Amino acid sequence: MKNFCFLLCLVIVSCQQSKVQNKVAEQIAAPSDPHSYSRPEQALVKHLDLQLNVNFGSKTIDGKAEWQIDNPAKADTIVFDTRQLKIIKVTVGDAQKRASFNLSKEDPVLGQALKVKIDSTVKKVTIWYRTSPDAYALQWLNPAQTAGKKHPFLFTQSQAILARTWIPCQDSPGIRFTYNAAVKVPGSLLALMSAENPQQLSADGKYTFKQSNPIPAYLMALAVGNIRFKAIDARTGVYAEPQTLEKAAYEFADMGKMVNAAESLYGPYRWGRYDVLVPPPSFPFGGMENPMLTFATPTVLAGDRSLVSLIAHELAHSWSGNLVTNATWNDFWLNEGFTTYIERRIIEAVYGKEEAAMQIVLGARYLNETIERMGNQRDLTRLKLDLKGKDPDDGMNDIAYEKGFFFLKTVENAVGREEFDAFLKAYFEQNAFKSITTERFISYLDRNLLSRQPKLRADIKTGDWVYKAGLPSNMPVVSSEKLDKVDTLVNGLSKGVKFSDIKKQISSLNEKVYFIKSLPDSITAQQMKDIDRLFAFTESTNSEIQFEWYMLALKHDYKAAHPYIEKFISSVGRRKFVIPLYTQMASTPQGKLWAARIYAKARPGYHPVAYQTIDEILK
């Protein structure tokens, strides 16, 4: 099967726009997911009734997953994904008749297949299980690792293939199910899920949840902690520890406006409420688009609303990702490229064209840097990936986001914004609650947009964008007035422009970040000191500035920043920041020793998806 699929991919590359290609694309539109053991074409899950008992003492969850299933092929087995789970017993039917099951040999990435014997009459499979204390999706924080220091905290991160470490499930983005859950936690804590959520503590620590839209397993989420709720408007609000709650509510005050802006572009928001949870700083990502309840890193609480594009991004996933989903992780760009595009449209609608333009120019900068850095891994700079045999997290870098964005921007430029908006709106409507492959999208695009004017195909070069490495020749040229001005100022440094002149002329976050990124390689530690005296970047509390400045400080051995770098990476677990910083530190023998010393203390505060990578960097 592997070779067969490989050949089909080659066919697609060589005759992108032909009818033959459309035919081929349809044939492989329902591929088997290389990252799931499940066999949905034989027997698949439809609905989950989940019971969880959360034990902070043992760092385990006792679970009972009652799956309603479909068995169109009258298969004698249904297959679930599991990893690090202790399976206690499995039954079938309402009468809970013991079922025979077996677990396959452990694969280091995929975990174990749980194969349960069924017959054609079985409609329900129930699995009793316990999670492992080091389950990869779960981060158990002791009270000292929280803002309040008094209560423990638990949160999950299921994407890409970690849901299986806390729920036995068919863990493929191509398989959707609805769920209800009943969760028991210690009495003083609030529990939240990617579902309709409570806004107040219960007296007995028992909570119930309902997600009536079908979602894939990677969107299963749970958080438990000393969490409070504050409404922003009728359908949006924030959850956080009491110490962080007001700050979060201030920072995210525009959430309602963002939902309205997205709806007016891409059709109704279909999930009921849109709330955001701010977990403690060890949260490994910027945000996670858990339906109805985005998880967002506290590193975006800058105090001046300068980093709220993260919320626009996670909200955008309510259309691209959560509503129309990548069928496998090889199609990840369908989630992230579309989301980055929509994010910037929301930013433009709420904050204006220039703000969006600056983010687009910075995006192009990041994209070029990533492509350069990945020189020896050119395969990973294609939009359509081949991650079979690899951990899908390996495919998750800027490419899916930024190259995906610039592909869609190319289409927008070619067909005109009005037509592209109408196309996208119809795309979300027609594919709602479905999972989609790259090939199916290309064929949809061709049928519904490009076939009207054959010249568009040549202008857009879909095949080059999707299947070739690097950037195509028609990469859009982008500019922003404010960042062009920064370019002029930085170029003037060798001709008499002073840092103090620059200080007078730039004020926004994007300008400052772009300024730091544009400083010449020849910059000296003394010049960094001069800049710092004017801008106080070392002592900034804005995480994006801190990150860019600290990277520069490491490259140019600007020692005044070292204690601040140490503090930053000891208190923040966001991969986007800590992984490049540790990598840069480890580039010299002395720096590596320093990094190892910090890491020894900081590691317990990081989520497994962060520390697994850093373990590799520092080994």
Residues that bind Zn ion (CB under 5 A): 336, 339
Minimum gap (Å) between residue 370 Cβ and Zn ion = 16
The DSSP code for 33 is P
Cβ atoms within 10 Å of 298's Cβ, excluding its own: 22
Nearest to 39 by CA among 75, 4, 84: 75
**Annotated catalytic residue 401:** yes
User: What pairs with residue 50 in β-bridges?
Assistant: 65, 181
Minimum distance between the CB of residue 342 and Zn ion, rounded to whole angstroms?
Answer: 10
Measured from the CB of residue 332, what is the shortest distance to Zn ion in angstroms? 9
Per DSSP, the three-state class of 246 is: helix
Q: Which is nearer to Zn ion, 336 or 412 (CB)?
A: 336
Q: Say how far apart CA 438 and CA 332 lie, in whole Å.
A: 9
Of 318 and 546, CB closest to Zn ion: 318
Under 8 Å between Cβ of 15 and 38: no
CA-based angle 19:24:29, to the nearest 5? 125
Least distance (Å) between residue 317 CB and Zn ion = 6
Count Cβ atoms below 10 Å from residue 324 Cβ, excluding itself. Answer: 21
Strand partners, 67: 48, 125
- Identity of the residue, 110 or 288, whose beta carbon is nearer to Zn ion in the bound complex: 288
* Residue 163, CA distances (Å) to 190, 195, 318 in order: 21, 16, 19
The CB-of-308 to Zn ion minimum distance in angstroms stands at 15
Q: Which residue is nearest to Zn ion (CB)?
A: 339
- Is-catalytic flag, 444? no
In order of 90, 213, 287, 293, the CA distances from 433 in angstroms are 29, 8, 22, 18
Q: State the Cα angle at 108 between 288 and 34, rounded to 5°.
A: 65
**Beta carbon of residue 335, minimum distance to Zn ion (angstroms, whole number):** 6
SS3 112: strand
Q: Closest CB to Zn ion among 84 and 322?
A: 322
Q: Are 407 and 441 in contact (CB under 8 A)?
A: no
Residue closer to Zn ion by CB (options 254, 336) is 336
Query: Which is the catalytic residue, given 401, 558, 582, 606?
Result: 401
Measured in whole angstroms, the distance separating CA 309 from the mean position of its chain's CA atoms is: 14
Length of the chain: 619
Task: Find the shortest distance in angstroms from Cβ 434 to Zn ion.
Answer: 19
Residue 380 or 489 with smaller CB distance to Zn ion: 380
As measured in angstroms, the least distance from the Cβ of 392 to Zn ion is 14
Pick between residue 288 and residue 486 the one whose CB is nearest to Zn ion. 288
Burial of 619 per CB tally in 10 Å (0-12, 13-18, 19+): exposed
3-state secondary structure of 78: strand
**CA atoms of 60 and 395, how far apart (whole Å):** 30
Write down the catalytic residue from 66, 241, 251, 314.
314
In the numeric block, the tokens 């959560």 are attached to 322
CB of 226 or CB of 330, closer to Zn ion? 330
CA-nearest of 71, 61, 65 to 47 is 65
Q: β-strand 176-184 against 44-55: which pairing, if any?
A: parallel
Residues labelled catalytic = 314, 401
